[in-house]
Amino acid sequence: MNKEELLKEYEKTFGEKAKDVFFSPGRINVIGEHTDYNGGHVFPAAISLGVYGVYGPRDDKKVRLFSGNVDGDIVEFDIDDTTVEKDDRFWTNYFKGMITYLREKYDNIDHGFNLYIKANLPSGSGLSSSAAIEMLMGIILKDEFNLDVDRIALAKMGQRTENEFVGLNSGIMDQFACIMGKKDSAIFLDCNTLKYEYMPLALGDYEIIIMATNKEHTLADSAYNNRVAECGSALKKLQKKLDIKSLGELDNNTFDEYSYLINNETEIKRVRHAVSENQRTLRATKAMKDGDLAKLGRLINASHVSLHYDYEVTGKELDTLAETSWKQPGVLGARMIGGGFGGSAIAIVKKSEAENFKKNVGQVYRDTIGYDASFYDAEIVDGTKRI
């Protein structure tokens, strides 16, 4: 999408000229899955697939939203309306949450606006379209009303939007990755302390290929919340003997020694993933620093295995993508990313093998699942900004 086309779409939709255009990226996650809400580490990066927003201020207090990706009309609500939306207006909650939390802090947000959005990333596919639109809203309001809110505070409001407006008990990773992204770098983030470090994603002759399962969104959100609850329950039991605030503080040995306290097979598996995945993320970022790409790839594969057996969030579609990827020439590693149960996977593939890779994995996926996967080559880009 180019800027001129977007400005035209806005004009067609709202019958007047727009003020500014913004872009908010989606994200991938190299490794560290389901570790954020467990106080562990993650290693995501913002991608060139994301959501554009075309903004124009209004004199009154109305917010008028139009999505070029949703069938339907403009959705309108008042800027001080904080009710959670349902059914075909549900998608506006991602905006409403951000407006609500920013207005709680800043009383100079005193007029409404028109906003036209258009995504070039598939929604509900584990690439974080939801955080992209939350951060889009955050940066637009910061820019328009000169708010002195910092980017990490906006990420936290996005997480709160998911938790309270959307009902998903997710961690901070998605919002942090979208808004703090840096060109050609991944973000090594400790979700316990929010300390972070940019690390160049120096992959040499290799590239990251994104593979979307195109599986329909089913009960992924309730299964996600279920995992959060299982880990929370196990943590409480461990805290009877261990002075820890989150599972991210455990190493594999301490977990082995104290896992008897959990006394529940399912919860033990969930914690084993949370702990081992956090350790893998630490080792993977070290491998990245050392330029040991083969090791990084092995850890990425191990992450998928753990998400399959211990966390049980993969499913046939994601397993087909990862397992087929592992068998292709020139592949360093592949795994599911995001919440799971559908969504997307990534593979690190030798550039010279990329076309072959897509053809082969695409064919096996179609034969096994019955419909196509989508393949994307995305660049690693800066976080949400005006363009």
* Binding-site residues: 33-36, 67, 124-130, 162, 224
Burial of 247-263, coded b for 16+ CB within 10 Å and e otherwise, reads: bbbbeeeebeebbeebe
Tokens of 360: 């082969």
Closer residue to ligand ADP (CB): 94 or 365: 94
Contact set for ligand ADP, span 157-186 (CB under 6 A): none
Number of chain positions touching ligand ADP (CB under 6 A): 19
What is the rounded CA–CA span in Å between residue 235 and residue 304? 23
Burial class (CB in 10 A: 0-12, 13-18, 19+), 241: exposed
Letter string b/e over residues 178-197, b meaning 16 or more CB atoms within 10 A of that residue's CB: bbbbbeebbbbbbbbeeebe
Nearer to Mg ion, 285 or 344 (CB): 344
Rank residues 336 and 364 by Cβ distance to Mg ion and give the closer one: 336
- Whether residue 17 contacts residue 11, with contact meaning beta carbons closer than 8 Å, is answered with yes
Q: Considering only residues 110-139, where is the footprint of ligand ADP by CB under 6 A?
A: 117, 119, 123-130, 133
The residue type at 170: S
Closest distance to ligand ADP from the beta carbon of 126 (Å): 5
The yes-or-no answer on residue 148 being catalytic is no
- Phi first, then psi, for residue 128 (nearest 5°) are 70, 50
Among residues 1 and 202, whose Cβ is nearest to ligand ADP?
1
Instruction: Give yes or no for residue 130 binding Mg ion (CB under 5 A).
Output: yes
At CA 36, angle to CA 344 and CA 377, rounded to 5? 30
Q: Is the CB of 14 or the CB of 94 nearer to ligand ADP?
A: 94
* Cα–Cα dist 359/5, whole Å: 32
Percentage helix, strand, coil, to 5, in the chain? 45, 20, 30
**Are the CB atoms for 316 and 340 separated by under 8 Å?**
no
Question: Which residues are registered as beta bridge partners of 200?
Answer: 185
Q: Considering beta carbons, is residue 130 or 246 the nearer one to Mg ion?
A: 130
Span of 31-39, 64-72, 106-114, 264-272 interacting with ligand ADP by CB under 6 A: 64-72
Cβ-proximal residues to 254 (8 Å cutoff; 6+ apart), any chain:
242
Would you say 79 or 154 has its CB closer to Mg ion? 154
Among candidate residues 349, 363, 355, the one with its CA nearest the CA of residue 320: 363
Annotated binding site for substrate: 33-36, 224
Residue 119 binds which entry of Mg ion, ligand ADP, none, with Cβ cut-offs from 5 to 8 Å by kind? ligand ADP
Are 136 and 53 a contacting pair, CB within 8 Å?
Answer: yes
Give the binding range for Mg ion (CB under 5 A) out of 77-85, 127-135, 206-214, 376-384.
Answer: 127-135
Using CB positions, name the residue nearest to Mg ion. Answer: 130
Distance between CA atoms of residues 311 and 354, nearest Å: 30
Q: Does 70 bind ligand ADP (CB under 6 A)?
A: yes
Q: Which does 50 bind (CB under 5 to 8 A by kind): Mg ion, ligand ADP, none?
A: none
Q: Which one of ligand ADP, Mg ion, none interacts with residue 211, CB within 5 to 8 A by kind?
A: none
Shortest spacing between CB 357 and Mg ion, in angstroms: 27
Q: Does 91 bind ligand ADP (CB under 6 A)?
A: yes
Does position 51 interact with ligand ADP (CB under 6 A)? The reply is yes
We find the least distance from the C-beta atom of residue 165 to Mg ion, in angstroms, to be 12
Binding site per annotation, positions for Mg(2+):
130, 162
CB of 212 to ligand ADP, least distance (A): 10
Choosing from 110, 174, 184, 243, the catalytic residue is: 174
Q: Which residues are annotated as a binding site for ATP?
A: 67, 124-130
DSSP characters for 305-322? HHHHHTS----HHHHHHH
Q: Which stretch, 79-87, 89-97, 308-316, 369-377, contacts ligand ADP (CB under 6 A)?
A: 89-97
Q: Which of residues 303-342 bind ligand ADP (CB under 6 A)?
A: 338
Q: How far is CA 379 from CA 49, 50, 63, 123, 157, in A?
A: 8, 11, 32, 18, 26
Q: Which active-site residues does the annotation give?
A: 174
* Contact footprint for ligand ADP (CB under 6 A): 51, 67, 69-70, 90-91, 94, 117, 119, 123-130, 133, 338
Interacting residues with Mg ion (CB under 5 A): 130
